[in-house]
């Protein structure tokens, strides 16, 4: 779900879309190869759909066993993303409460305010441009924990975390369905956000 937006709405040759495709391709090759001894026919069929240009062998059963690329191992990076994923899990709970209260219809209609301690704030700000896409919401703002309003959602899993869910700013883009302040700015594509208008005009 996290990758849907960049796969469907980003420009075909954009770096972020190509990066997502590369990761998905690597995963498909590795999982298909590893599962082939157990799911022989299913994996063989999946393998047959790989483009011939990238399919190394005619059959998945003729391919070599996947080898771990140790260049991908980064314990410190994994730890950072583990923390972000835990916060995302708590944000999902807050979004569910907002849905039940009829404050939002779906997560893309939400603006999420995160209130965290200093170290976590520094971590989140490092990835702030990616957070909304990762949490599948309209936007995310990061604040100091002391600024948390009294009615914010309090996590019972992460001690120094409070979350406030509000309706998204802006209007809904007809192409990507994200709520953006830039919808309507393009004279050529009035119903689109700046990103989608740029994709269609080749800007």
CATH numbers and ranges of domains, the chain: 4-72 (no CATH), 75-169 (3.30.2320.20), 170-203 (no CATH)
Neighbours of 143 (CB within 10 A): 17
Say if residue 18's pLDDT is above 70.
yes
What per-residue confidence (pLDDT) applies to 190? 92
Average pLDDT over the chain reads 93
CB 192 within 8 A of CB 183: yes
Sign, CA dihedral 118-151-156-108, equals negative
Q: How far is it, in rounded angstroms, from Cα 86 to Cα 158?
A: 8
At 123, the pLDDT band (50, 70, 90 cuts) reads very high
Q: Residues 149-161, buried b or exposed e (16+ Cβ, 10 A)?
A: eeebbebeebeeb
What integer pLDDT is reported at residue 105 of this predicted model?
92
Q: Is the pLDDT of residue 8 over 70?
A: yes
Question: What is the model's pTM?
Answer: 0.83
Among residues 143, 195, 153, which one has the least CA distance to residue 174? Answer: 195
Helix, coil or strand: residue 201: helix
pLDDT for the residue numbered 203: 62
Kindly report, residue by residue over 38-85, the tens digit of the pLDDT: 999 999 999 999 988 888 899 999 999 888 889 989 999 999 999 999
Cβ neighbours for 16, distance < 8 A, ≥ 6 positions apart: 6, 10
Mean pLDDT to the nearest integer, 116-124: 95
Q: What is the pLDDT of residues 183-200, one digit of tens each?
A: 999 989 999 999 999 999
Residue range 97-124: mean pLDDT, rounded: 95
């Amino acid at each position: 779900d996290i990758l849907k937006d960049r796969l469907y709405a980003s420009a075909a040759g954009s770096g972020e879309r190509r990066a997502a495709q590369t990761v998905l391709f690597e995963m498909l090759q590795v999982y298909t190869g590893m599962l082939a001894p157990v799911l022989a026919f299913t994996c063989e069929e999946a393998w047959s759909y790989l483009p011939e240009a990238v399919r190394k062998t005619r059959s998945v059963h003729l391919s070599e066993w996947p080898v771990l690329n140790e260049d991908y191992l980064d314990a410190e990076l994994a730890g950072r993303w583990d923390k972000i994923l835990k916060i995302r899990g708590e944000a999902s709970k807050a979004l569910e409460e907002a849905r039940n209260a009829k404050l939002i219809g779906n997560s893309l209609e939400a603006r999420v305010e995160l209130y965290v301690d200093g170290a976590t704030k520094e971590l989140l700000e490092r990835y702030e441009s990616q957070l909304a896409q990762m949490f599948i919401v309209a936007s995310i703002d990061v604040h100091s924990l002391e600024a948390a309003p009294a009615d914010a959602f309090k996590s019972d899993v992460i001690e120094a975390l409070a979350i406030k869910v509000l309706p998204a700013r802006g209007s809904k883009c007809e192409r990507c369905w994200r709520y953006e302040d830039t919808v309507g700015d393009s004279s050529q594509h009035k119903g689109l956000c700046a990103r989608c208008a740029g994709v269609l005009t080749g800007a």
